[in-house]
Each structure stands twice: as structure tokens, then as C-alpha cells.
Amino acid sequence: MKNPYRHNVVLGVFKLKLKTLNTPSLEEAAAFIKSALLEKATIIIIGECRVDYEGRGASRLELGERFVVIKQDGSVLVHRPTGFSPVNWQPPASVIEVAFRREIGLLVHAVRESPREYLTVVFTRVNLVVSAKLVDAGEFVMYVDEPTMRDVIAETPSLVEEGLRVLAVEKPVGSGKVDLYGVDKNGRPVLVELKRTTATREAAIQLKHYVEAFKREHGQQPRGILVAPAFSPSAIETLLRLGLEYRHVDLKKVWLLVKQKQRKRIPSLEDFSKK
């Protein structure tokens, strides 16, 4: 047989280089995957497998149908048919070995140093293997996130309080950095801690830490204001108990200001959805 792979198809040589291998024997699959690893391709394996992991934690996954992804940087993902998270994985830069063992099956072994971790996938059946050399230089921009929110409020401090003047962002205080530092209309120092999502008790405690560190370092008691779109009950209880303040911020207002700054309008997703 000239070609050791059944149903082997090579497509789009000049663009995405992609190969598929349908219903191979485990031995054929092993050869195909080894070759794809040498090419540093992204590999997707669909079939029936068991998974063992040992490292920072330890787990065992019994037999079932899943798909396994080996990426071009050595990361490995084992995905079940439901759920966002992979059930098992190995981070980038893992060393990957593939072997066929007659008595066991197709082994995909990923090892990582520091911390030392092992992931072993044992396939008892392979339905499909895909190998693809993906080229992806597309820019990724997250344009509504915590840094954005911080910058917008730094430029428009009235969103927090009238008369507030912001003097620094990410000001080092103690062993950390407070999001915003400024003075209020009475000239009193103000520390602002920002949360993009609902603020928890932890955020209140974090702010308290900054307030105390500031007092130790500057000998002056600053106001501490926690700014967030919402607050958990325990956050409010803790804030009041610790003598701190809080302000709601309307994320929609922040977004509006962000979009005003961005000249080129980003098309709404509604434009794509049907009426």
C-alpha cells in the first residue's frame, strides 16, 4: 500500500494545510499524530478514551467519547461533549509523546516541568484525527475591561464624585497599587478601588489595606472609596464597619465615553442578527 492512511485528504496547500484521517486503527492514528507533531500542527482527535492526570492535583476520567486538542505550542485540551471547561488539560510548552501499545491502546502523554505534571490519554477507539497548520496573526482587542474603566474614570472623575481630582493611577501603596489616587474638593486625599463586576467583601478588605498602608506611609488618613457597578451585602457591611465609602458606577456611561473616544465605530452585533 503506497499510502499507509485510509481516507487521507490533503487540502488547501497554499492556505491552511489540513489533513484528516477517518476511522483509523490505533496504530495508524499513532503514526499520523506523530507526523503531525513533527509538523507542529494543531491536532484534533475524536474517539473513546480514558484520562489520568497527576501534578498540582490528581484525577482520573473513565472511558467515554471526547475530543482531544493538541495545539501548536504544546498545550493539550481534553473536552467532554458539554461544558465550557476542558475536563483535563496540560498548559503550553508541554512535551508530548504518542505511542501505540497493543495491550493498552493509543497513548497520548503530555509532560510538563516546573511544576512537574503528567497527563495521559489512552484512546481505545479513534474515529477521526485532524491535523491543521493554522496561521493566526489577527489582532485581539478587548475594549471594555478594567484598565479602560480606570482610564475613563481618571479622565472623568465626576463619575465618582463632584470635585474629585485624580493625581495618579495605579499608585503604589504598601505592597500593592491602588487604582486611583486623588484629592477631594476639600483637599483631603482619596484612594479609589475599582471593580468592573459586583464588589465583594474581599474588595472592601483590599481597600482597607491600602488606606492603612497610605496612613502608615504618609501620616494622613485618606478617604477610601470602592467604586463598582454593584455591591454584595457583605461588601457593604464590611465597608461600613471599616469606615470606608462606596459609589455605584454605571457601566453603560463608561461604555458611552469609551465609544465616544473610539472614532471608528465598532459595528453592533445586532447588525448581523436577523430582524
Partner DNA sequence: CTATGCATGTCGATA
Partner DNA sequence: TATCGACGTGCATAG
Partner whose footprint covers residue 48, from its own copies, DNA, none (CB < 5 to 8 Å by kind): its own copies
Burial class (CB in 10 A: 0-12, 13-18, 19+), 271: exposed
Partner whose footprint covers residue 109, from its own copies, DNA, none (CB < 5 to 8 Å by kind): its own copies
- 20/232 with CB nearer DNA: 232
Partner whose footprint covers residue 112, from its own copies, DNA, none (CB < 5 to 8 Å by kind): DNA
Partner whose footprint covers residue 219, from its own copies, DNA, none (CB < 5 to 8 Å by kind): none
The answer for residues whose C-beta is within 8 angstroms of residue 52's C-beta and 6 or more apart is 59, 60, 61, 118, 119, 120, 122
- 28/90 with CB nearer DNA: 90
Q: CA neighbours within 13 Å on the CB side: how many for 121?
A: 30
- 51/129 with CB nearer DNA: 51
Q: List interacting residues with DNA (CB under 7 A).
A: 53, 55-57, 59, 75, 83-85, 88-92, 112, 114, 117, 119, 142, 145-147, 172, 175-177, 179, 196-198, 200-202, 206, 230, 232-235
* Per-residue DSSP letter, 72: T
Smallest distance from DNA to CB 158, Å: 22
Structure-block grid coordinates of residue 143? 475594549
Smallest distance from DNA to CB 27, Å: 26
- 9/167 with CB nearer its own copies: 9
The span from the first CA to the last CA of the chain, in angstroms, equals: 55
Taking alpha carbons only, the member of 83, 86, 96, 94 closest to residue 59 is 86
- Alpha-carbon Rg for the chain in angstroms: 27
- 1/269 with CB nearer its own copies: 269
